[in-house]
Amino acid sequence: MGRTYRKRKRKTLRNFSSNLHSSPCFIKLTQWMRKHGWSPSCTLCPVEFGDTGRGLRAETSISKNQVIVSIPLELLITVSTVESSDIGWIFSNANGVSLFAQQVLAAFLVWEKHLGHHSVWEPYLNSVPVDYSVPLYCSNEELDVLPSILLEPILIHKQKVIDTFSDLKKIVSMHSGTCWHCSESISTIFQREQYWWAWSTVNTRCVYLDEQVLSHHLKIQDKSCLALAPFLDMFNHSNDADVQVGLSSDGKSYDIRTLVPFAKYTQVFIHYGYHSNLKLYTEYGFILPLNPHDFIPFMFEEILNSIKYTYPEKFNCSASKLDFLKCHSLAENLSCNFDGLSFNVKAVIYMCMTSESQKDILTLKIYSSEFTSEENMAICKVGKHLIKQKCLEFESVLQIMEQKKSNNCSRSFEVAGSLILEYINILKRAEKLAV
């Protein structure tokens, strides 16, 4: 699929949304949920939106403080659901191998998916996506061209998936039984590809519960009380949404109450958290244009290099200055966002360009930000150089990515390209502010 085609397709999709209300998958999901005690809290229709993909649309207006979804606890998939399932015994006998909530839920999805029609969860499993745009699905060749700001969290995440899968294989291979449904040996049912899909399903769709709701006896390493919640997991995220989530007052369901109203025929969003685009990309496989929580980190050395380049004669970064910066936590959170360079970046630039003898004055100036116009100009000049260098770095990465994109690339790689483009836009705006 060529670039022009994709661009054209995106353009068409943006203005187009298609109603999924009568899709067999959705009808079966809601019929099955009703049988298990669910009833809709308000009229929501699943729709394929041009800009956000599948989500839920309000068929009538929704007011502030209205409960938009309420899922009976028996419809949630939690660690206790897994414990009392066909494969619960495998995890009760893990023989010292570490278990994590996400791994256990993912294993359960793989198991139930393989049962097909024989799974009571089939209507739910058929409602979740068959593939994902999370970075786990970037090929090694694609990962090779990503900048370290993206690559580092991706590799950490990927390693966690690899390790938990390898531990799962260890656990299942301790047991020699065969499956009642397909007669396959238990261990062959858990394959890497299915596990990656299941892991991504949990990662992009789970909610967090109170520990008390989850009574089980499995030895889970982490305290994350994850739950998969059918239907509820079709809400997309927006920074403009605001919600209250948790158990209903009678403790029988998991509810979401919206704190903002929604007009009839608009998409109803929830809020996944105050996430930067990097977090949204690595955890959920999408980004938000003009995300106010976005920022681009700088390394301390990058700032020093910009000072050395712009004012070689003024550069002065002694051991005592380094101590000072570290003691005052000024050498961390070095970043740039839509509003320009962070306070700490400016403090580091100022500190490392000013002579040692004036340390008391320096401290006072940094915390009052009362720089002379000459000092301000010097800080801006270094800041501009720093921003420009980062921009050049991202532009050259994007160029390489564009070349790769013209061949067959993963959806995840395309999202990574959009993220780099967002970063370039932020830097260009910040550069204009640094005058």
Q: Kindly state whether residue 6 participates in binding ligand SAM, applying the rule CB under 6 A.
A: no
Nearest-approach distance from CB 237 to ligand SAM, in angstroms: 4
Sign of the Cα pseudo-torsion (49, 54, 56, 60, in order): positive
Q: Kindly state whether residue 286 participates in binding ligand SAM, applying the rule CB under 6 A.
A: yes
Residue range at the interface with ligand SAM (CB under 6 A); choices 140-148, 236-244, 297-305, 415-423: 236-244
Which of 30, 32, 55, 209 is in the footprint of ligand SAM by CB under 6 A?
55
Nearest-approach distance from CB 289 to ligand SAM, in angstroms: 9
Q: Which CB, 54 or 170, lies closer to ligand SAM?
A: 54
Exposed, middle or buried: residue 361 (CB in 10 Å: 0-12, 13-18, 19+)?
Answer: exposed
Sheet containing 335-337, strands listed edge to edge, beginning at the edge strand earlier in sequence = 296-297, 335-337, 340-341
Q: Which CB, 47 or 110, lies closer to ligand SAM?
A: 47
Q: What CA–CA distances, in Å, run from 287 to 17, 263, 283, 416, 428? A: 19, 24, 10, 9, 19
Token output for 201: 């399903």
Per-residue binding letters, 201-230, with ligand SAM (x by CB under 6 A):
---xx-------------------------
CA 392/CA 369 separation, integer angstroms = 29
Which of 285, 340, 383, 417 is in the footprint of ligand SAM by CB under 6 A?
285
Which of 254, 284, 298, 423 is in the footprint of ligand SAM by CB under 6 A?
284
CA 317/CA 324 separation, integer angstroms = 11
3-class secondary-structure state, position 29: helix
Longest dimension (CA), the chain: 80
Q: Which CB, 29 or 171, lies closer to ligand SAM?
A: 29
CA 307/CA 316 separation, integer angstroms = 9
3-class secondary-structure state, position 69: strand
Q: Kindly state whether residue 234 participates in binding ligand SAM, applying the rule CB under 6 A.
A: yes
Q: Which CB, 54 or 308, lies closer to ligand SAM?
A: 54
Q: Kindly state whether residue 390 participates in binding ligand SAM, applying the rule CB under 6 A.
A: no
Which of 102, 236, 258, 354 is in the footprint of ligand SAM by CB under 6 A?
236
125-154: which residues touch ligand SAM (CB under 6 A)?
A: 129
Which of 6, 54, 160, 181 is in the footprint of ligand SAM by CB under 6 A?
54
Q: Which CB, 49 or 371, lies closer to ligand SAM?
A: 49
Q: Which CB, 233 or 422, lies closer to ligand SAM?
A: 233
Q: Kindly state whether residue 277 participates in binding ligand SAM, applying the rule CB under 6 A.
A: no
Residue range at the interface with ligand SAM (CB under 6 A); choices 18-26, 75-83, 279-287, 347-355: 279-287
Q: Which CB, 187 or 267, lies closer to ligand SAM?
A: 267
3-class secondary-structure state, position 68: strand
Residue range at the interface with ligand SAM (CB under 6 A); choices 90-98, 282-290, 380-388, 402-410: 282-290
| Residues that contact ligand SAM, how many (by CB under 6 A) | 17
69-128: which residues touch ligand SAM (CB under 6 A)?
A: none
Write phi, then psi, for 207 (nearest 5 degrees).
-115, 170
Neighbours of 86 (CB within 10 A): 16
Neighbours of 2 (CB within 10 A): 11
Q: What CA–CA distances, in Å, run from 273 to 60, 236, 293, 384? A: 26, 12, 10, 31
Q: Which CB, 181 or 279, lies closer to ligand SAM?
A: 279
CA 219/CA 394 separation, integer angstroms = 44
Output 209-216 pairs: Cβ under 8 A, ≥24 positions apart: 209/76, 209/78, 209/247, 209/254, 210/246, 210/247, 213/73, 213/78, 213/247, 214/78, 214/79, 214/80, 215/80, 216/78, 216/79, 216/80, 216/83
Tokens 């929580």 belong to residue: 293
Which of 21, 237, 293, 321 is in the footprint of ligand SAM by CB under 6 A?
237
Which chain residues interact with ligand SAM by CB under 6 A?
Answer: 52-55, 129, 204-205, 233-238, 284-286, 288
